[in-house]
Every structure is written in structure tokens, then in C-alpha cells.
Structure 1
């Protein structure tokens, strides 16, 4: 989670457009859109919602272009609800539910005690400087409901700490029941396996990121290998929280607009651009500093610092221009999966051999 201060009340801060408490100076410098332009963009999205199937099937490029420009805040939640196909899944699930609401049915059930305790611990940590999630705010209750319902929905996953900021951001834009179904789609369609025991899906995507860096920045790749940087150390927080601990509103919401439209490749593109900018083609002072690092932890700290300091509009442009195709991504993920499975088999064989040796010497 972004480190918003817990003491905003003592510093005369006020909620901005997105509900986060900021200083009056920050409020004055926030980007604004002319009311007439905002209304026009909002109407375009409302028109799309009315003919959603048609747009998705025959005018998807138009949808993608509008997502890259940013969904208007007034309809952003509904945009995510439609783009993720949560609306379709929600309606189908409730149609087959005897009580008429799967979400409400889940709320009458109870996951394991450990899961409930873990959820409660994280409520106060999730965006405490947002007006919804201050101590005992309405957002905390809704966040508890969404996370509890998901733990009932998928007991094999239960609850993972990285899920809390994701659910909280959804609740900033949607009522709890709709937020829950978008959350289900994120977990089961967008980043399937990210929160499972062992984190194999995250490890796979981390390794795939390293393989792709080799493709788009040989110089950056050589530095990462020279310092023996494990890619999970810089990608874990980015991917598992969908960058919610790296960026704040409105930049984070723009990333999610594209993510819900184009999928996980948006996370890869953003990660690769950050790495290229830090290690290869970015501001000379940052690149020079990177190549002066003599250990992995210093370099990782610089990468994470650079992610927050690079101009966001520049990041978006470079993401769009990054020479990365869907085929490149699929190949890298397949290669990473194969390598991890091979490593796992080797480890298991070593364990089996060790047990056999131990039995011989009994």
C-alpha cells in the first residue's frame, strides 16, 4: 500500500477528488479536466455500456483506446465491472442462487478462524488516509465483507495480505457486491494462482519478466545477472498488489483501466519499462547510479525508487512503444514455467535421494 500518513487530521489535510487526504497545496496542483470534456467522455462510456457486447465483439480497439486515455472517474467502477466480465458472472451466479445473491449467501457463512483474524489485522493497514478506510470507517466494514466472502468462495486460497489493497481500491469505485465479483475475476481470470500456496504463478511471471528483459534490454539484463538479482525481489510487490503499493491515484487507476482491458501484459509492460529506464535508457544520473551498485539489494531499492519518480506520462508512452508482442509474452511465460518445473523436479529428486541415503545409514 502507498504510505499515506496516518496523521492527516493533525495537518489540516482535506480529501482530494479520489478520497485521499492531501495538503491544500497538493489539492491545488491536481490535474483537472474541463467539465465539458469530462461530460463528453462520460457520455461515450455510457453509450458503450448500453451496447457493450457489440463494442467488445466488433470495436474492441476503440474500447482499448479509451481505456488507455483513462476511464472517467464517474464511470470508472462500472468500466471495470464490464471490462472484467464481472457483470456477466455476477448476474449468472445470482440467477442460479436460491437466495438471489451469492455474495449475501457467502456473508452468512464463516471461513476458518485464522482467516478471519488475518483479515481483521489488515483492515486498518489498507489505505488509512482514505476517507473510506479511516478507523472504523464504512470502508473497513465493506472490505471485511469482500475479503471474507472471497475466503468462503475459494477456501483453498482463503486470504492473502496482498489481496486487501486490491479489494480496497475496488471499493473506492464500486458497491461491495459488485466489488466482490470484480475481485473474483481478478483472482480467477487475470492473475490466477497468484495467491495460492507456494506462489508458483508469481514466481513464473517474475522469471518471465527476467527473460523478457534479456529481450528488450541486454544491458539491463547483464547488470541484473552480474549482481545475481532474483526477479521475485522486485516483481513480487508490483504484481501481487497490481502496483497498488507503488502508485497512488490517479496514476494507479489509469494502470488498472488498461489492466482490466488488456490483461496481465499491462503489468509486464510497466515492469519492463521501469527496468529499462532504471538500468539502460532512462535519465543518465539514474542509469549511472544503477551501474555503480555493487550488490543486489541496493539495485532493487533503486529500481523501486525509480518506479515512483519517473514521469507517469512518459511511462505510458514508453509502455505503448515497448517492442513486446503477445507471442513474446506467451513464449517467456512458457519458458519460465518449464524452467521452474525442471528446478522443482531436481529439488524433489535430491530430497528423495537424501531420504534414501538416510535410510541406508540407519
Structure 2
């Protein structure tokens, strides 16, 4: 079983702002950035206090602006939630811009709840439910026994370095409830191990019932088919990624083909866990902000930028090392290592500038689907032919 932890190498005793246990050195680094910003803000206030009479008499608007600044971004989102339908219908570009800047932590959960349309699905489902809560109704039902056992095995493995899920933390019971409810909701899928970290991250931001409905939307609207038997949807997106690399980086594509790298080997972990094993808070949450707003193309864009940076246009030492690899596994390891080491803000900028349109993505996915179906038909025909020949020889 895989340990889905953002920092699986060590479990130190110092929780950071996001609830993850990190080493004291990591915490000091994180806090030093925040401290520099805080000191700058404090100095502005101290300067203002030194000239208080002047500010109050002639620059009161500046005082008011500084008082409001801490809550301004949150208030913008709250105002947007209050007029959500209007924003989605006529001002979606404004929503997208705000998501790319990052949803404020205090309203991030509600942002995901609205962006995913989970709020409306939740309300509609409960409106037609005789007990008033579909989620609570699911909790009274029991999926197949092996599903429950699989879920229980993974509870302790899901973010053991987070205070909610560490050592029978309060989040483990909620995580069990969300995963169990989904297994009842969609018995054909049941439970897949890669679902646990996704549900856990939702629970870091939302109460269990709302987290469940966002989880439903992820499974059924964003990455539909990712957790089904055969993983055909993931294989399709992996192949589409390879086809898109050919468009955005011929040099990178040639190297991948030269070493015969199967795209599923580097995309499976990224896509099935929505990059939750590659990035940690707050970077991961920023990715999810965009994902809930813009959809699965965010995963493609991020994957393509990582590949392009590693194999073609990134830091010269990394690109050189990539082209010196003489086997697929070494190259895959380098790609995954580079994903974690590239400056995150640079990745976001390059994602936005990547020469990739929605039409390009749709065409690549369609081409990948046709190719996989063709390969599947060929395989089935061979099996049928082999069975027929075996019977003939008998």
C-alpha cells in the first residue's frame, strides 16, 4: 500500500499553518516569509501612528483602507458567493482571475464547494431525499464488506503528517464516512486507494457532508472514469498528454520516444491523486483552486509544463541530465524530482503561457480514445483468433 503523505520522509512534531507536521527548519523557512510581510505591514502602521493626527485629519481614507485590507479578498469572495449564478453566467473571467491568484484560506472550502457545483447538487439531492440528507442516509447503509476493510486500512496512511489524520486524529472518522458514503453512492466504483488523499484534502477545508458532495463532483464531473476498473480514462489522458507533448516540445517528445517511456508511468500518480503526492500546502491548494474553476485541463497544463521544463526549456543542468538518461526509469525519476524542485510561481506563469488551446486538448483526448479503442479491439481479436485456433487443434 502507498503512503499518501505530502512529506512521507519524516513526521516531526511541529505543525505549520496548514496543519502539516514539518521539521523546525521547514517551519522557520515558511514563517520567515510570512514574518517579512508582517513586518512590512507593521512598519506601515508604526509610521502612521507616528503621524496619527495628520492621517486622521487628511488621510482618513488611507487608515480605512489599511483596516479593511486584511479582509478585502475574503469579502470579494463572500460577495461573489452571494451572487454566484450571476458571476458564473456573465463574469466567469473574473472568477477565473481570482482563482488563479488563489482563494483566501478562510473561504477556500466554500470556493471549492461553489466552483464544483457541489452546493447545487447537494441541495437538490437533499430536497428529494425523504430523510432530508442523502449523505446521512448513505451512512446508514453498508457497501460490500471488502470495501470497508480496504478503507479502514488506508485511514492511517492518508496524510499521517497532518494533525487531523495523525494517530487516530479527528479526521480519520470523517474520512471513513466520506469514503464509505461514496462507495454506497457508486457501488460500481466502490473505493480506490487513490481516492483517500483527495477526500482527506477536502476534509481539511470542509465539513464531512459538504466534502462528500465535492468528492462526488470530482469523481463524476472532473475526472470521470479515473477510478473505474481498467483505468481507461486515466490511460486515455496519459496518452493524450504524450500527444500534446509532441505539440509543445518536439525535443522532449523525441527523448520520451527514444527511451520508450510509457506516459502512464509519469502521469498516473499526478492525475489520479490530483498532484497531492507531488505538491504540499499551500502550492497544492493553489492548483486545486484552478482545477475546480477550469477543470481537468489544469492537470494537463501542469504536467506539460513539468515535462517541457525537464526535457527541453528548463534549467540547463536538468535538461542536460535528462538527455543523458539511458533508460526510462531514470528519466521518470528525474521528471518527478524536477516537478517538486521547480519554483512554483514560475510553474504557474508558464502554465498560463503554454501554447495549448481547449481545441488542442479536445483533439488530443479524442485521438487518444480512438487509439486505445483500436488497440483494445486488436487485442480482443487476437484473443478470439487464438481461442478459435486452439479449439480447431483439439
Contiguous gaps of at least 5 residues in structure 1: none
For 2:52 and 2:153, locate their aligned partners in 1 and report how far apart those are by CA, in whole Å.
39
Question: Contact 1:259–1:266 (CA<8 Å) still a contact in 2?
Answer: yes
For 1:42 and 1:82, locate their aligned partners in 2 and report how far apart those are by CA, in whole Å.
35
The 1:11/1:260 distance shift into structure 2, 3 A limit, reads: closer
The 1:263/1:359 distance shift into structure 2, 3 A limit, reads: same
Superimposed CA distance per residue, residues 64-88 of structure 1 (whole angstroms, 9 cap, x where no aligned partner): 0000000000000000000000000
Aligned-pair CA distance for 1:225? 0.3
Superimposed CA distance per residue, residues 247-285 of structure 1 (whole angstroms, 9 cap, x where no aligned partner): 000000000000000000000000000000000000000
TM-score w.r.t. length of structure 2? 0.84
Question: Contact 1:45–1:75 (CA<8 Å) still a contact in 2?
Answer: no
Question: Contact 1:42–1:72 (CA<8 Å) still a contact in 2?
Answer: no
Question: Contact 2:6–2:159 (CA<8 Å) still a contact in 1?
Answer: no
The 1:48/1:246 distance shift into structure 2, 3 A limit, reads: farther
Contiguous gaps of at least 5 residues in structure 2: 55-86
The 1:204/1:123 distance shift into structure 2, 3 A limit, reads: same
Aligned-pair CA distance for 1:291? 0.3
For 1:36 and 1:136, locate their aligned partners in 2 and report how far apart those are by CA, in whole Å.
36
The 1:259/1:33 distance shift into structure 2, 3 A limit, reads: farther
Superimposed CA distance per residue, residues 296-346 of structure 1 (whole angstroms, 9 cap, x where no aligned partner): 000000000000000000100000000000000000000000000000000
1:307 aligned to 339, 345, 368, which one?
A: 339
Question: Contact 2:5–2:157 (CA<8 Å) still a contact in 1?
Answer: no
Aligned-pair CA distance for 1:146? 0.2
Superimposed CA distance per residue, residues 120-169 of structure 1 (whole angstroms, 9 cap, x where no aligned partner): 01000000010000111110000000000000000000000000000000
The 1:356/1:38 distance shift into structure 2, 3 A limit, reads: farther
Single out whichever of 77-86 and 3-12 deviates more from structure 2: 3-12
Aligned-pair CA distance for 1:41? 16
The 1:6/1:94 distance shift into structure 2, 3 A limit, reads: closer
Superimposed CA distance per residue, residues 190-223 of structure 1 (whole angstroms, 9 cap, x where no aligned partner): 0000000000000000000000000000000000
For 2:53 and 2:313, locate their aligned partners in 1 and report how far apart those are by CA, in whole Å.
41
Aligned-pair CA distance for 1:29? 2.3
Aligned-pair CA distance for 1:60? 0.5
Question: Contact 2:6–2:277 (CA<8 Å) still a contact in 1?
Answer: no
Question: Contact 1:99–1:105 (CA<8 Å) still a contact in 2?
Answer: yes
For 1:284 and 1:243, locate their aligned partners in 2 and report how far apart those are by CA, in whole Å.
25
Aligned-pair CA distance for 1:16? 1.1
For 2:17 and 2:93, locate their aligned partners in 1 and report how far apart those are by CA, in whole Å.
29
Aligned-pair CA distance for 1:22? 1.7
Question: Contact 1:4–1:129 (CA<8 Å) still a contact in 2?
Answer: no
Single out whichever of 106-115 and 10-19 deviates more from structure 2: 10-19
Question: Contact 1:122–1:161 (CA<8 Å) still a contact in 2?
Answer: yes
For 1:8 and 1:126, locate their aligned partners in 2 and report how far apart those are by CA, in whole Å.
10
Single out whichever of 290-299 and 46-55 deviates more from structure 2: 46-55
The 1:40/1:138 distance shift into structure 2, 3 A limit, reads: farther
Q: Secondary structure of the residue that 1:344 maps to in structure 2?
A: helix
Single out whichever of 179-188 and 4-13 deviates more from structure 2: 4-13
The 1:126/1:330 distance shift into structure 2, 3 A limit, reads: same
Q: Counterpart in 1 of 2:46?
A: 46
For 2:388 and 2:158, locate their aligned partners in 1 and report how far apart those are by CA, in whole Å.
48
Superimposed CA distance per residue, residues 10-68 of structure 1 (whole angstroms, 9 cap, x where no aligned partner): 98632111110123332232268989999999999999999999911111001000000
For 1:35 and 1:169, locate their aligned partners in 2 and report how far apart those are by CA, in whole Å.
26
Single out whichever of 15-24 and 174-183 deviates more from structure 2: 15-24
Q: Secondary structure of the residue that 2:311 maps to in structure 1?
A: helix
Q: Secondary structure of the residue that 1:10 maps to in structure 2?
A: coil
For 2:29 and 2:351, locate their aligned partners in 1 and report how far apart those are by CA, in whole Å.
25
Q: Secondary structure of the residue that 1:336 maps to in structure 2?
A: helix
Question: Contact 2:4–2:157 (CA<8 Å) still a contact in 1?
Answer: no
Question: Contact 2:4–2:197 (CA<8 Å) still a contact in 1?
Answer: no
The 1:45/1:206 distance shift into structure 2, 3 A limit, reads: farther
* Cα RMSD for the two superposed structures: 6.5
